[in-house]
Structure 1
């Protein structure tokens, strides 16, 4: 007897060691003999235009997909995913009454949590609204830190966490603390919001390792900008990316304390394995070594465990700050970017648009001797994904220039982005598929997902790529045990065209 293309006698239940961050639950995992190198699109739905499909979360209880839609009105679109090959729009949850703009969604066992930044001033405290996925009634409304940019449930469902970015206003007259909020679901949604002030006395040490604090006030606590959270499978530890600061923080959930801040250092583009194309005006995709450093500045983060060692994987997108009162980015060709004549004796040639001139660098870094010129050049992002030891923050693997190379081989590389973060790794999700640990990497500027086997964290193996909608932002894995088809699914939400696509692998 067969069901969903697998032999029932061959299906066994085991405990999953790693599931998708946005919908984790400590439940038995259905082992399906699937080939992680064969994901293909099986369904698609368009819910609007630009900004319409940013982040999605799946509720296995109702078999519904909940997708952020900020294209026209502020709402969450509800999609029936009981047949992933033919997703059906059901309704929308109107969020206008909550005076906030939704940034992220997460689900757990019939609950939908929505992160909303304050309107009209996103510097004010944000909020989390928890809904019932069956009837969309409000279960709870909770105040959190300023600009909650990402939300997730812990695998056991006991916590909801938000990364509160705390961006300043345009004139930098208001710059709220960056923070992380921990909501205890089983304690009537009591909230603890943590800032990073206790680490301010470590600034000089952190800076020597690549951590970045830079603003008109240079205030450590308000300059921190949390971006994305991942939680360990045992729901005891969380890691949060501090994108603009080029770091990752580690949090103990039992004590609700930030225990470590890991500076991520720099990527050396003067090494042969890191050759990249940094000009969109050089007549092609021409990779070279450069006297250049890159901050990793990760956006999304995911976590997994191998041989009892926790690992985190980051999508090293990069990000600058551009406000009327503070701008830290300029092209090397700018007249105000003066290169040290001893370190860069061929400065005029380097500043040409066909050489380094088109590249954006951080103008608040690089003057190491304080004489007004640049002794080193530091760019935004690392054009890669990296794997780090979750206990120590030490790097165990970086994909170097492989994402660029794969995009070129597949004919999807966009040379117009060569000067500005290239393929732009945006999202990462790690999960178990059978006995393998599989990584999905979303690339915002080439509209694709790359798939890797990371069962050996120091030597990931490329498996495949697949095309997505325009500018994929949200990446969601639905394990076979929770899938309506009892087959693993990947859901990609693309904010450029408002398209949600569903992918499924073949059986072995």
Structure 2
């Protein structure tokens, strides 16, 4: 196993935010927790999203799991965390159809607060408006439902339970001929949830940021707006939500747009949008393995950039200041009617050229079309290029001055007042998984055991994320969607966050579609503090999309 580290050429490449970084994989001397696997529920369905988003109710001691394969919510008893047991299933789409007469699609998200459960359900045609359904937790009784925006992808309660906030992603159809607006719905809950009406729903739109709109000048430089013929409101795709501790703001990840929107929950309007910039992989500490064809682990600096493009987002407060934590997964738009996704070696086929500084050009000479080097890297055609011609929809005869990939293979912490990045885990995830898994498990995908399979794309692909407080310290739990496993960091002091543990239940010697393979594709997480746990031990519940399993981890204090 080789892990060569090249010297940086940071000063020769332009980058929003400069070259400063702050990361550490040194175990924290003050951290004293340890994650251990307890048990899992197996749906028996492989590769069909049978376990995605999870939540937990302390009084009922039940976990609610989004089963996208069935389109329903699975209810698991967690009275014995080592043996989660399915007790019932909620046909949420059918319940709403019986109320409204409108046929719906699958559930996407679930959240619980004070005995009430909210479920986000997409329309049968995803570009149509979806619904939020409400249930009583104690008897799983359907209460009512209200309509929200197109493709409600995430739902959460504010901490005081007075509002429900929904990220309406508004994805286009595959032909890219219908592209609904992305939006955020704010549902104000009455004291009696049965009295909820459509008038209690406010849809926060991004239309004012459209060209010619009253807030067009407020769009930040670097905000990615690139869908064909799309307005800003159509192009923005809200993905995930976190609510500040004081319930004043919701922060919404705009994944494809590489941005975060800050929503004022009192004024029910967009306060600001932050563009997140790009990560410099040519900087020491940001090494990556860039090819899936080199048959070895090669963590090296390259003169390329990565768009953060966070999926999950969480928040916490330190000395009265809000900080945001993001899992920097990355996601391209790759549709039948439009795709931004190319490989570096495709530049030659598109009659395009790379025009970097002489120093950078020297470092990649002869490697642009080499599958064992930079040629395999997936890049976007929408950034770093100029003078392009569109030939049958493909960017041709371009001059690329920079190469941008998807995701940052890391998690980051951002200032909730300014949007400034205060921490990034750098190359920790690839380096730590390389050290602990070796070549056999390094950058495998979640549906095969092929080593190095995801190096050309987004590496370990951090997606799931949740935070928890234990013994007065704050921890981030990050799920690696592709290679699998959970990264644990002590983030009590944001700027000095420290790696604590990496744990995986995956068995790389077993066939991926068998029970012996363990958990594959962590998609959603829920932290359960010890005071809400059935056993008095803090827990981490994980929904694993590919294996269709819901796994439970215990969190113990180290002796």
Q: Same-fold call, TM > 0.5?
A: yes
Give the equivalent residue in structure 1 for 2:508: none
1:109 and 2:119 equivalent? no
Q: Does 1:338 align with 2:352?
A: yes
Between stretches 426-435 and 124-133, larger displacement belongs to 426-435
Within the alignment, does 1:197 sit opposite 2:201 as a pair?
Answer: no
Deviation at residue 118 of structure 1 after TM alignment:
0.4
| 1:297 pairs with 2:309 | yes
* Partner residue, 1:443: 480
Q: Which residue of 2 aligns with 1:43?
A: 39
Indicate which of 353, 356, 367 corresponds to 1:349. Answer: 367
Residue aligning to 2:532:
482
Partner Cα distance (2:294, 2:31) in 1 = 40
Query: Aligned partners of 2:80, 2:119: CA distance in 1, in Å?
Result: 25
1 CA distance for matches of 2:154 and 2:119?
Answer: 9
- Aligned pairs for 1:91-490 (under 5 A) are 91-97=88-94, 98=97, 99-119=104-124, 121-186=125-190, 188-189=195-196, 190-200=200-210, 206=219, 208=221, 210-334=222-346, 335-336=349-350, 338-341=352-355, 343=357, 344=361, 348-368=366-386, 372-411=398-437, 412-414=441-443, 415-468=452-505, 469-490=519-540
* CA–CA separation in structure 1 for the residues paired with 2:40 and 2:485: 15
Q: Deviations over 1:59-81 (max 9, x none)?
A: 1121111111122x321111111
Secondary structure, in 3 states, of the residue corresponding to 2:186?
strand
| Structure 1 pair 116–178 and aligned structure 2 pair: CA distance change class (3 A) | same
CA RMSD in angstroms comes to 1.8
- SS of 1:161's equivalent in the other structure is strand
Q: Distance in 1 between matches of 2:83 and 2:280?
A: 46
Partner of 2:14: none
- Partner Cα distance (2:522, 2:474) in 1: 22
Give the corresponding residue for 1:7. Answer: none
Give the distance between the partners of 2:116 and 2:413, measured in 1 at CA: 31
Q: 1:108 to 1:341 in 2, by over 3 A?
A: closer
Shift of 1:246: 0.3
SS at match of 2:190: helix
Q: CA deviation at 1:111?
A: 1.3
Offset of 1:413 from its aligned partner? 2.2
Which deviates further from its counterpart, 471-480 or 404-413?
404-413
Distance 1:312 1:487 in 2: 26
Alpha-carbon distance change, 200 to 347 in structure 1, aligned in 2, over 3 angstroms: farther
Q: Tell which deviates more after alignment, 406-415 or 236-245.
A: 406-415
- CA positional deviation for 1:196: 1.2
| Residue-by-residue CA offset, 1:13-47 (whole Å, 9 max, x unaligned) | xxxxxxxxxxxxxxxxxxxxx97531111121112
Q: 1:191 to 1:500 in 2, by over 3 A?
A: same
Give the C-alpha shift of residue 251 in structure 1: 1.0
User: Does the aligned pair in 1 maintain the 2:209–2:219 contact within 8 Å?
Assistant: no
Equivalent pairs, count:
472
In structure 2, what is the equivalent of residue 70 of structure 1?
A: 68
With the length of structure 1 as denominator, give the TM-score of the two structures: 0.89
Distance 1:362 1:207 in 2: 20
1:431 is displaced (CA, Å) by 2.1
Q: Distance in 2 between matches of 1:256 and 1:171?
A: 33
Structure 2: 5+ residue runs without aligned partners?
Answer: 1-29, 98-103, 389-396, 444-451, 506-518
Alpha carbons 2:281, 2:306 under 8 Å: kept: yes
